[in-house]
Each structure stands twice: as structure tokens, then as C-alpha cells.
Amino acid sequence: MPAPDADHLKLTDFIDAATLQEIQDSFAAVANVKATITDADGQLLTQPTPTAEFLSRQEAIAAAAEAHEGPQREGDEYVAPIMVNHQRLGTIRMSGRAGGPRPDDAKIAAMAEKLGVDQKHLKQAVSQLMRSPGAKPAAIQFLFLLANAIARLCYQEFQLRQRINELTAVYNVTMMLSDARDLENVLQRMVKAVCEVMQTKACSVRLIDEERDELIIKAVYNLSPRYIGKGQIRLSQAKIDQQALTARGYEYVKNMEKDPRVQFPQEAKEEGIVSMLSVGMRYKGRAIGVLRVYTAHEQTFSQFQIELMKAVAAQGAAAIENARLLQESMEAQALERQVQMAAQVQQRMVPSKPPKIEGLDLAAVYVPCFELGGDLYDFIELPYDNVGLVIADVSGKGVPASLTMAAVRAALRAQVDNVYYLNEAVRRINLMLCRDSSPSEFVTLFYGVLDRRNKRFTYCNAGHPPGLILRNGQIIELNSDNMVLGIDPEEKYIQSLVDLRTGDTLLLYTDGLTDAMNFQNERFGRQRLIEAFKTGGETAEAISQAILWSLRRFAGLAKRTDDVTMIVAKVN
């Protein structure tokens, strides 16, 4: 029923028409007058003549009074019980003896004020009763009307207090659920609070595990371990809970032993639970689980109780989802801290600056796409004025790629200290990757040794973009047919050699440079790279920065999808 408009209240918003008719008929009979009740606009709310039910009841009261029998008599008194919620709270008693002492006006006034009735009308009723035996039936009806009026007021107060207690419980549950840090303990307190406010035997919360098609117990109050462990409840077979998770929002079971939808009726009987109310827990339309209450005897639930359960279930679903999000956030923060530490370790693996070697001008650029990159470059100082130049690109991104990169770097440094031939070192790294990585994980690698004294560059390219040598404005490509690392353990790697001249500039790079895209989905490409390489400048650092600037100018603010790494070496 919608709430009445506070600006347009009517008498029938507070007292129904049947009760108004009872008041009118009782008053008219006792006072021996004609009476009607109208609304604020003068429209009749009652009929001017007594109802047939009232007249029939009056005749029955009169007959019972003459025979000195009937439930209205206790000795010489007429009694009317005051009943609230099937419980007798008190009794209104009225003496039936004629000629008794007449109450004085002060007592009548006090009684009228206490009962909330008109003093004049009550005085007339008492007078009629004292002097006219024929008025007794009407007076008795008025007596019962007063008792019912008091009972209604008491019941309204009783319902109001109950609603306040229930709403207070919802508020308390909401406050409990706001602490998502200890959800298990909070849900345990919630089911106990629901049991207390609903006055039920037991309560439980079951959450949906979609992968296992199961409703898993999350919190329970006053159910035995034997009943909890009775067996799995499959969501696909739980017709009661499926109904609770529909738009209706709930499902009621009158008797769990007899209802064919109940999966464990015998266990319910042994547990001593009879009726059950299951309410769906949903968050933003997504099913989370069910909130159940159980009773020890057959019981129906009022609409207010059902709505109360729905409110608690909604709060519980929100708390569960918030707890999940909080847990995910905490895990993400922990992972982020781990990634940051891993990125710091990775940064230490990358040379902070090139080594100073007489006759060589070295520079490098490393711009990871994410905190953890899959690119690798390194300078390895070797005996006899030799320096190793390494650049590699690991398939994939993030943590797996960074771990593979670290393994390749460690393996390469271990091999070059013991193996003279570059192709043998690369072959051993390939065997390691084939043994320790999956087929989808591979590495492209370019490893070369620059002999400063003899101006000779020996290299082995394992599937990496070819190195470029700029000589007198012309580009020389360092091509190779070797396969990438980590695919075929039987692959034979071949090394190559090129003589350098004073003024030659060597460029090694990863495909993140040429594959970079702009907003028009155009690749930076090899030709733009060569143009930037040719016009870069006089020093290795100037050349590397010119290439990087050309790339950034081309890509603009387009999102990068790969690491950008390059090494520039100029022979002086």
C-alpha cells in the first residue's frame, strides 16, 4: 500500500471504514441517538443505520446476558479481553448490577481521557447503562469496541517497535558489512543477526562457484556440522535457489521434508528444520549466492520479513563483491610492488652507460613499453681491446619476457667467458631455451664482437633484424639465415665477419623501432629508420637521439606496443 500524501490526509488513512462503522453503531446504541461520520468535505464514511452484523451481535449479547451465560460474563461482570498478537494483555471489566453507585464526573473524565474518547459520550453511556437494562447490550458492544480500540493501538505500537527493531538490525548488518577487510567474520555475525531479528532457528549464506556448479557454504549459524557436510548442492539442480535468484528474489518452502524440490529432505528432518526462506544475493544484476533462514516448525513469512531479507541479502552481496574487489586490489598492489622491484633489477642488468673504449664511440637507447621489458642490450668488454655488442628481443611482454631476457643475458655472459667462437655460444643458448621454454617462447638475438685494433666485426645473427653499417652515405646490411633461438635444438648457427673502416657507423636495433605505428596505422618502417640514421649527426649519441626523435615525431601520442632498443657504434 502506498504511503498517504502528507498534504492530503484522510480519516480513512488511519482508521478503516469498518471500524468507523463499529464506533458509530456502538455510540448510537449506547447514547440512543442517530449518528454518522463524515470526512473533511462532509462526505459520508458510514451508513446512518446499524449494520446487520451489529444488530445480530447485539441480540446475541442481550440473550446471553438474560441467561447469565456466554463468554462476555464472569460472575456479575461483563468482560472484554485486550488481545495483541494472540496474547492477552489485559481485560476491561464492567459491572452488570443495576442500581449500583454511579461513577462521579471526575472518574468519568479521567476514564475518557485515558481511553481517548469523548467525555460527554462516555457519561451518556454510563447513564444509560445505570438506568436502562435495555441499554446493556449496546453498552457491552461499546465495551468490546473500547477493548478492540485499545488492542489496535497496542498492536500498532507492537508492530512499530518490531519494524524499528528490524530496521535497526538492517542498519547494524549494513554497518558490519561495511568492514570488508574481514568478510568471513562479518558474514558470520550477519547470519546470527538475521536469525535473531527474523526469530528463526538457523541461517546460512551460500556463494556460487560457477566453475564447480556449486553453492558453497560461506557462513552458517546454528546448523550442525553433520547437516552442513550432508553433500554438495549443485546450482543446476537447486530449483529453490534458482527461483530465489530470479527477478522475484526469493522462494519459500513450507515443509522441507515433504517438498520434492529439497535435495536432502531426510537430513532436514533429522536436523529439526521445517520451513525455509531462500533469498537471492545479486550485485549489479550478477548472481552472487543465496541467504537462507530455517525454522523449527511450519511458518509463513510476511511481506515485510521477505523485504527485510532482500535488503540484507543485497547488502551482503555488495559487501562480498567489495571484499573481492578489495582483495584483487591488494593482490594487484602486491604484484605491482613485485613488478617494480623486478623492473629495478632489470634496469641494473642494462648498462647505465656505454664503456669508454679508445677508437670507438658507443651509445645506446632503451625505452621499455611496460615496466618490465622483453628487450636486451649489453656491452661486454673482452680481452685484447675487443668489445661484445649484444641486442636481443624476447617474444611476449611483461614478467615472462623479462625472466627469459634475464636468463638469456646470464647464459650469454657465461658462454662468452669460456667459448671463443660466437656461433658456438649462440648454439648453447639455443639448447638452453629449447630445453627450458615452451614452443611459443623464442628469442631473436644479434651478438657481435668488435675488434678495435683490427677494425673487424664478427657477428652471429639469430633471426634478429639485420644490423646496418653506414659508410660514406651508403647502407650495408648484415644479413643472416640463422633461425631464432628456442625453436629447433638441432639448428646450426653460422657466424659472419665484416671489415670496418674509420668513419663507419654500426646500428643494431629491435623491431619495436621499425614496427612502431602512428594514428593512421602506418609503420615507422625501415626506410624512415635509414633516413634518420643517415642524417643523425656526427657522434653515436647524436645519431641515437636523432633516430629516437624521428620515431617520436612520427608516432606522436599513439600508444606504443613494443620496446624500442638500439646500439650505435662509430669507428673513429
Residue 153's Cβ-count burial label (10 Å; 0-12, 13-18, 19+) is: middle
CB atoms within 10 A of CB 451: 17
Higher model confidence: residue 171 or residue 34?
A: 34
pLDDT confidence bin for 464, thresholds 50/70/90: very high
CB atoms within 10 A of CB 351: 15
Q: Which of 194, 230, 37, 61 is nearest to 134 (CA)?
A: 61
Instruction: Give CA–CA dist 242/477, Å, rounded.
Output: 68
Which grid coordinates belong to 143? 465495551
Per-domain residue ranges of the chain: 11-161, 178-326, 350-571
pLDDT at 71 over 60: no
Consecutive H or E run containing 161: helix 136-177
pLDDT confidence bin for 131, thresholds 50/70/90: low
At 441 the pLDDT is 85
The pTM is what? 0.52
CATH architecture, domain defined by 350-571: 4-Layer Sandwich (3.60)
Pick the CATH number of 178-326 from 3.30.413.10, 3.40.50.2020, 3.30.70.260, 3.30.450.40: 3.30.450.40
pLDDT at 383 over 50: yes
Which grid coordinates belong to 553? 615525431
The tens digit of pLDDT for each residue in 232-266 reads 889 899 999 999 999 999 999 999 999 999 999 99
pLDDT at 132 over 60: no
The tens digit of pLDDT for each residue in 303-348 reads 888 988 898 888 888 888 877 777 777 777 887 787 677 667 767 7
Residue 548's Cβ-count burial label (10 Å; 0-12, 13-18, 19+) is: middle
pLDDT at 180 over 70: no
